[in-house]
């Protein structure tokens, strides 16, 4: 890694020096904005909801946001050049309705962010691999 890159990755360097996160997060005021208002200083599922699972090796849970479509674009490009292992089923996770906080989604991405993908063609200790 170059010295310049090393500096850019060093989070104790520069503007974040003075920030000390609290031991316990509390929400003392409402956030503004459509998406900021759904954020909380906690993580984890907010309600029980299993995710659908289809027959394709890859199961994609996402939405057509600029971040969300990137995985679809990659998988479509791979299909175009004949990569059989890139076959996928896609499911909509409507982040404006809080679907990223359902228990099934949180189990594959504790960050509650789309896109998330589960690879059923690979496994670690008998479990499919979740990527996010």
Ligand X SMILES: N[C@@H](CCC(=O)N[C@@H](CS)C(=O)NCC(=O)O)C(=O)O
Q: Segment contacting ligand X (CB under 6 A): 11-19, 52-60, 75-83, 107-115?
A: 107-115
CB of 109 to ligand X, least distance (A): 8
Q: Which is nearer to ligand X, 86 or 116 (CB)?
A: 116
Number of shown-chain residues binding ligand X (CB under 6 A)? 12
Task: Residue 102: name the closest of 53, 62, 54, 50 by CA.
Answer: 50
DSSP-assigned states of every residue in 9-61: H-TTSGGGTT----SS----SPPPSTTGGG--S--S-SB--PPP--SSSEEEE
Residue 116: its H or E element = strand 116-124
With CB under 6 A as the contact rule, the residue among 10, 67, 97, 121 that binds ligand X is: 67
Structure tokens at 106: 């949180």
* 95 counts as binding ligand X under rule CB under 6 A: yes
**Cα distance between residue 57 and residue 119, in whole Å:** 6
With CB under 6 A as the contact rule, the residue among 46, 87, 113, 120 that binds ligand X is: 113
CB of 3 to ligand X, least distance (A): 26
* 112 counts as binding ligand X under rule CB under 6 A: yes
CB of 79 to ligand X, least distance (A): 22
Q: Spell out the residues 6+ positions from residue 130 whose beta carbon is closer than 8 angstroms to its own.
A: 107, 108, 109, 116, 117, 118, 119
Query: Contact residues for ligand X (CB under 6 A)?
Result: 35, 38, 65, 67-68, 95, 100, 111-114, 132
């Amino acid at each position: 890694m170059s010295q310049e890159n090393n500096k850019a990755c060093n989070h104790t360097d520069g503007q974040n020096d003075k920030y000390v996160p609290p031991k316990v997060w509390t929400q003392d005021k409402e956030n503004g904005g459509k998406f900021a208002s759904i954020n909380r200083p906690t993580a984890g599922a907010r309600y029980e909801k299993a995710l659908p699972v289809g027959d394709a090796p890859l199961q994609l849970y996402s939405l057509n946001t600029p971040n969300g479509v990137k995985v679809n674009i990659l998988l479509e490009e791979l299909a175009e050049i004949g990569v059989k292992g890139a076959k996928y089923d896609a499911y909509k996770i409507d982040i404006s309705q809080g679907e990223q906080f359902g228990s099934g989604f949180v189990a594959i991405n504790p960050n509650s962010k789309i896109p998330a993908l589960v690879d059923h063609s690979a496994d670690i200790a008998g479990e499919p691999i979740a990527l996010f």
